Amino acid sequence: MEDILRPIYQERASQINTMGILMIEKREKTISITDNFDAILLIIVKEAEQPILIKHYSYQNKQAAMHIVTKAQLDNWLLLGSNRKIVDWIYSGEIIFDRNEYLHHLRQQLSEFPAEERKLKKGLEFAKLIRRYTKGRAFFDNHHYLDAYNDIVHSLHHLARLTAIEKGFQPEITVWQQIKKLEPEIYKLYDELVNSEEELEKRLELLFLAGEFLIHSRVKIGSAHLIDVLKTKDHWSFNEILTHPELKLYSVDLEVLIEYLIEKHCIEAVNIETKGQGIFHRYYQVSNQLL
């Protein structure tokens, strides 16, 4: 297959802007990580007019796709976990071209999973977990069980990903097979929610009973990154938190996370007077218990 696709990637390999090229072939009898294409060419470049460029090809009754992505876009995917197949592509793809051993070092970095990167990724997954879980709980309390189910399934996926990261692994596409080995208790919770023959209301009720403990036990590791940043100042406005270079990655999950951490006594809300009588600015600081 490489011989057939060589003319497509050869020109790219000769360009100084190209950092590395991987070829990922469709695997038989396994979950496809190639979006059902017979082959994917992943070409990583230093910079480009657009961060992602995708082209499709046909050959010998087969289909291939070429993905040209900038290093900045790839780094963003890896950090945020927003493109789950990309880790598999990097690990399992055949290296076709590797300028200055860029891909070799990238694989090594993913395997080592540095502590600071792990802390940030745990924070991002925990924030997503809390937002989904809180929404699901609200839907459940208002008897919207299907909406609750949707959010709780998503929250369990974030719990699974958080657990994998906590144990030093990159979350895989088949994260539930991964968690079945790493944390059987969480896998069982997910399995019972999805596959039990109990009524949906009963399944959700049982999950909330068990899930509350599993989430509470991860508050410290899940909030460590945010708390470490907040410790650098006495108090913060919400906008200061939202626009901080490290914290803006939390995006839409940030407000719910902060309210949750106030409830758990990790963060305190501080009222500071405004010019208006009886109206206060609401600022945030790390709880004295954590200082």
How do the domains of the chain map onto residue ranges?
Answer: 2-112, 115-286
The whole-number pLDDT of residue 155 equals 97
The two beta strands, 62-70 and 94-98, are unpaired
Q: Which residue has the tokens 């709780």?
A: 152
| Strand 280-286, strand 267-273: pairing | antiparallel
Specify whether the CB–CB gap between 139 and 151 falls below 8 A: yes
The class of domain 2-112 in CATH terms is alpha beta
CA pseudo-torsion sign 89, 90, 95, 98:
positive
227: nearest Cα among 267, 282, 264: 267
Q: What is the CATH number of domain 115-286?
A: 1.20.120.330
Q: Which two structure tokens, joined as six digits, stand for 164?
A: 């994998």
Q: How confident is the model at residue 5 (pLDDT cuts 50, 70, 90)?
A: confident
Round to whole Å and give the CA distance between 164 and 167: 5
Cα–Cα distance list, 91 to 95, 119, 130 (Å): 10, 22, 30
Tokens of residue 89, six digits: 């592509």
Mean pLDDT of 78-97: 90
Confidence of residue 142 (pLDDT cuts 50, 70, 90): very high
Please state whether the predicted TM-score (pTM) of the whole model is above 0.75. Answer: yes
**Quick one: residue 193, left, alpha or beta (phi over 0 = left, psi -120 to 50 = alpha)?**
alpha
- Write down the pLDDT at residue 164: 93
Closest by CA position to 269, among listed 259, 284, 281, 252: 284
Distance, CA of 35 to chain centre: 20
